[in-house]
Chains A and B, each alone.
Chain A
Amino acid sequence: MAEVVLAGVGKVYPDGTRAVTDLDLRIADGEFLVLVGPSGCGKTTALRMVAGLEDISEGEVRIGERVVNRVPARDRDVAMVFQSYALYPHLSVRDNIGFGLSLRKVPKSQIREKVEHAARLLGLTDHLDRKPRNLSGGQRQRVAMGRAIVREPQAFLMDEPLSNLDAKLRVQMRAEIARIQRDLGVTTVYVTHDQTEAMTLGDRVAVMKKGVLQQVAPPQELYDRPANLFVAGFIGSPAMNLLQGTLTGTEDDLRVRFTDQSLTLPREVLAARPALRSYLDRPVIAGIRPEDMEDAELADGPEGARLTCTADLVEAMGSDVLVHFAVNAEQVVTEDTRELARDMGTDVLDKAEAGPGGTPMVARFSPRTRIKVGDPVTAQVDTGRMHFFDPETGASIWDSAQPSPRKESE
């Protein structure tokens, strides 16, 4: 077990494509770090550079005390779990798990012992003599885990290990991976595009966009204090609602104005975000999480913190109700939101398309709400929990000395 450090790591392919830019990450001994981002953001490339499957074009990767830039994959003493599992089809489960040990000339009796121990840990004891093709998806995934575990490596590298499982199994295996990692205490780097996996598994989560690290922080901090628009939009499901507005009023009576509505902000907002002062009478991007809104009939709150509109769609989830509506406000179109839209599979938004319908929003209401499609909605907004971003840079507005979004917060 060891610390894994990436210092200024970059990857440029021979054809000039840049996959990763100046990546700084320090993964502490025993830590579970999740690399998350939309497809093509360079997270897998970063992982493969740590693994030794990809040449490191710039910077330095250290595992433990050792700089491994020039060390071949087989000598880095890290184990990898592949998205496709990559089990050897001609070997039994036993031989698959023990393959790495047998290549390292570990005595047979010892291999047997370790394989059986790992199999007990993973509930594979009954399947040891079967071939991978006779196993279910979940069992194959366990074998792939077993192959990593028996090696007792310095670090586990996992490349979307759950993405080939169905939803139910994924939740179960997610818990299992978390348990195993905690029991073994092995430094783990886990790549995923699924923000739920990232939030539930990681001690810390690193969000990447287009090869550039956006923010590294524990999951809750990522959710509460996103460094920029991209992180804010990527973390959380449903995603944060983003509205173009203007900051008006005075320091004592601060408001954020949309086209024909405004929200009054409590005093704490300015205390928490002193830098907001300089945005008075200037445009800002306001972010409201769906869970920070409630049906005004069910919640108490100041009059000035309400948005009124019409429900376009109501989705009852059982535990809560998702209400979709459109607010008459200018839609936020920045490079970050384009990237997010591309990840969601929707068409890239254009200013022109954000027509008179306004900005679509989603609110998460309590199941006691009686709102139906087409009803007028009054949403009580917890304005103290609103987020604000600079329209130019997309950076979160906090202190006057704005932290650079790419700096690692520890």
Chain B
Amino acid sequence: MTADTQAAPGVDRAAGAPRRSAASRLVNRLGGGAVQAALALIALVWLVPTIGLFVASLRSSTDSGSSGWWTVFTKPAQLTLDNYGNLLDNDSITRGFVNTVMISVPTTVLVVIVASLAAYAFAWIEFPGRDWLFLGVVALLVVPVQVGLIPLIQLFGEVNLFGTVPGIVLFHTAFGLPFAIFLLRNYFAGIPRDLLEAARMDGGTEWTIFRRVIFPLGGPAIASLAIFQFLWVWNDLLIALIFGDEDSYPLTVAIQQQTRQFGSNLDVISSGAFLSLLVPLVVFFAFQRYFVQGVLAGSVK
């Protein structure tokens, strides 16, 4: 008995954890290093076009016409901020930027509000035909935007929305909703029922439960939805090109038109494109922490 208990720890030490962990730590470190190097390389390759775009936006149009962007590494003197200065004087670009904001911000807000309300109802309010209706929403996920183009052009023409910013906003909102409702409904459905019942017992109406319990708890899902929705609309070219006109074209269309009119005026395109890229980046980093936040910890059990 005594011998057994004495031997046991020794046996453990000889056969067990430490030696294996020394080897596994080595493997981990080597593996971790290799993986990290590979990741860094892939990230770099991925970034090459963006870097090229950025560098090109800092070179004059004559330089861009005569040599590749990578020559900047040997002749850094080429760098200039002139392109960005010119951009601010370019009416079509500045108007496009304003339009882009006017389109993507209201769309995002509308989609988040409508979708979260609808998702709450689909997840937590009993009403006849709820599941069939939700099935319909899910089915709408597979409808491509292209299907809606011609009917909606006709409809918008009838109600004088064609060629206006509100028209574009409505189109984006409508086609963004199925996915948004689907995403939020599934997230809301995962919120423990007890929480809603507790709020109901505490005197909450459906509206206060939504506003004070569901909406705050849905934070991560709502934030990621908002970011995605914003990016899609911000980067959209197709819808804006078809539904917009001279006064409502966003940045993407404005940049695209530069190519058509002047051939390869890389100075405007590169700096404009980089400007268009900057805002989503800022948005992403501002909301990024919501992606990983686990707000439900500690609520039940």
Across the interface, B198 reaches (CB within 8 A) one of A86, A134, A135, A140, namely A86
Across the interface, A89 reaches (CB within 8 A) one of B197, B200, B208, B295, namely B295
A89 CA to B195 CA, complexed, in Å: 9
Q: Which residues of B contact A73 (CB under 8 A)?
A: 197, 200-201
A99 CA to B203 CA, complexed, in Å: 9
In angstroms, how far is the closest chain B Cβ from the Cβ of A124?
A: 15
Contact between A133 and B297, CB atoms less than 8 A apart? yes
Q: B159-214: which residues lie under 8 A (CB-CB) from chain A?
A: 192, 194-195, 197-205, 208, 212-213
Contact between A90 and B201, CB atoms less than 8 A apart? no
Closest to B204 in A: A103
A79 CA to B194 CA, complexed, in Å: 13
With A53-B197, A82-B194, A103-B208 as known contacts, state yes or no: A87 contacts B299, CB within 8 Å. yes
In angstroms, how far is the closest chain A Cβ from the Cβ of B220?
A: 11
Q: Which residues of A contact B199 (CB under 8 A)?
A: 88, 99, 103
With A86-B192, A86-B195, A89-B217 as known contacts, state yes or no: A135 contacts B201, CB within 8 Å. no
A117 CA to B299 CA, complexed, in Å: 23
Contact between A53 and B200, CB atoms less than 8 A apart? yes
In angstroms, how far is the closest chain A Cβ from the Cβ of B108?
A: 22
Contact between B298 and A80, CB atoms less than 8 A apart? no
Q: Which residues of A contact B205 (CB under 8 A)?
A: 74
In angstroms, how far is the closest chain B Cβ from the Cβ of A248?
A: 55
A164 CA to B194 CA, complexed, in Å: 15
In angstroms, how far is the closest chain A Cβ from the Cβ of B135?
A: 20
Contact between B201 and A74, CB atoms less than 8 A apart? yes
A145 CA to B81 CA, complexed, in Å: 64
With A86-B299, A89-B297 as known contacts, state yes or no: A74 contacts B195, CB within 8 Å. no
With A99-B202, A151-B202 as known contacts, state yes or no: A82 contacts B301, CB within 8 Å. no
Across the interface, B194 reaches (CB within 8 A) one of A86, A99, A103, A135, namely A86
Q: Which residues of B contact A134 (CB under 8 A)?
A: 298
Contact between A131 and B298, CB atoms less than 8 A apart? yes
A79 CA to B199 CA, complexed, in Å: 10
Residue A104 CB within 8 A of the other chain: yes
Binary CB contact string for chain A from 46 to 72 against chain B (1 if under 8 A, 0 otherwise): 000001110000000000000000001
In angstroms, how far is the closest chain B Cβ from the Cβ of A204?
A: 24
Q: Which residues of B contact A140 (CB under 8 A)?
A: 298
Residue A289 CB within 8 A of the other chain: no
A134 CA to B205 CA, complexed, in Å: 29
Closest to A89 in B: B299
A134 CA to B297 CA, complexed, in Å: 9
Q: Which residues of B contact A87 (CB under 8 A)?
A: 198, 298-300
Contact between A90 and B217, CB atoms less than 8 A apart? yes
Residue B14 CB within 8 A of the other chain: no
Contact between B298 and A89, CB atoms less than 8 A apart? yes
Residue A364 CB within 8 A of the other chain: no
Q: Which residues of A contact B216 (CB under 8 A)?
A: 90
Q: Which residues of B contact A131 (CB under 8 A)?
A: 298
Q: Which residues of A contact B197 (CB under 8 A)?
A: 51, 53, 73, 80, 82, 86
In angstroms, how far is the closest chain A Cβ from the Cβ of B8?
A: 28
Closest to A132 in B: B298
Contact between B217 and A80, CB atoms less than 8 A apart? no
In angstroms, how far is the closest chain B Cβ from the Cβ of A257?
A: 50
How many residues on chain B are close to A (CB under 8 Å)? 25
Contact between A79 and B201, CB atoms less than 8 A apart? yes
Residue B23 CB within 8 A of the other chain: no
In angstroms, how far is the closest chain B Cβ from the Cβ of A133?
A: 2
Residue A147 CB within 8 A of the other chain: yes
Q: A123-156: which residues lie under 8 A (CB-CB) from chain B?
A: 131-135, 140, 147, 151
With A84-B300, A86-B299 as known contacts, state yes or no: A74 contacts B194, CB within 8 Å. no
A82 CA to B203 CA, complexed, in Å: 15
Q: Which residues of A contact B297 (CB under 8 A)?
A: 89, 133
Residue B296 CB within 8 A of the other chain: yes
A90 CA to B299 CA, complexed, in Å: 8
Q: B263-301: which residues lie under 8 A (CB-CB) from chain A?
A: 295-301
Across the interface, A80 reaches (CB within 8 A) one of B195, B198, B296, namely B198
Q: Which residues of A contact B201 (CB under 8 A)?
A: 51-53, 73-74, 78-80, 100
Q: Which residues of A contact B298 (CB under 8 A)?
A: 87, 89, 131-135, 140
Q: Which residues of A contact B212 (CB under 8 A)?
A: 99, 103
Residue A365 CB within 8 A of the other chain: no
A309 CA to B50 CA, complexed, in Å: 89
Contact between B198 and A82, CB atoms less than 8 A apart? yes
Contact between A90 and B203, CB atoms less than 8 A apart? no
A134 CA to B299 CA, complexed, in Å: 10
For the complex of A and B, 9 pairs with smallest distance between CB atoms? A133-B298, A100-B202, A89-B299, A86-B194, A84-B300, A86-B198, A133-B297, A132-B298, A103-B203
27 pairs from A and B in contact (CB 8 Å cutoff): A51-B197, A52-B201, A73-B197, A73-B201, A74-B200, A74-B201, A74-B202, A74-B203, A74-B205, A82-B198, A85-B194, A85-B299, A86-B194, A86-B299, A86-B300, A87-B299, A90-B216, A90-B217, A100-B201, A100-B202, A103-B202, A103-B203, A104-B203, A131-B298, A132-B298, A135-B298, A151-B202
5 more A-B contacts (CB under 8 A) besides A84-B300, A140-B298? Answer: A53-B200, A86-B300, A87-B198, A88-B299, A132-B298
B residues contacting A by CB (< 8 A) are 192, 194-195, 197-205, 208, 212-213, 216-217, 219, 295-301
A residues contacting B by CB (< 8 A) are 51-53, 72-75, 78-80, 82-90, 99-100, 103-104, 131-135, 140, 147, 151, 164
